[in-house]
Structure 1
Amino acid sequence: MKSTKSESAQKWGLRWHLLFYVLGNLAQVIVWWIYNPDHFFWPLWSIVFWGIGLAFHYWSVYSPPKSNTQY
């Protein structure tokens, strides 16, 4: 489903999403590293699942538009 937002606005939204993904996960890795580096690397869950959401966002912005043919 394509949004009514312009292509430029969609790309900017993706860039902001990517920026917050990197900064948010970097902050979590730093907290993990400072407080408990000897334990399980718990930021992995955020990196993986937020990354899946980011991949879907990328796909929605850069996927080719569907044709409007009726069957």
Structure 2
Amino acid sequence: MRLTDFWNRMRRHFGEAYAESWAKDYVIAGLGGRTVEQALAEGVAAKQIWQAVCQEVDVDSRLR
């Protein structure tokens, strides 16, 4: 998954204004207790992060 696709899905699910805030502040156990931003900075694949987001919150099946 490309990073642009990842962010498009984040914005579609959380909304334009909230997606980046959520990615910065919300700690996900499935990412080893990291936020989305931390996981991206540490080189975790966007697809793996998106899967962790989908497990954490109820993402519409069309976006999965």
TM-score, structure 1 as length reference: 0.31
Structure with larger RCO (C-alpha < 8 A, sep 6+):
1
* Structure (1 or 2) with the larger CA radius of gyration: 1
Question: TM-score with structure 2 length normalisation?
Answer: 0.33
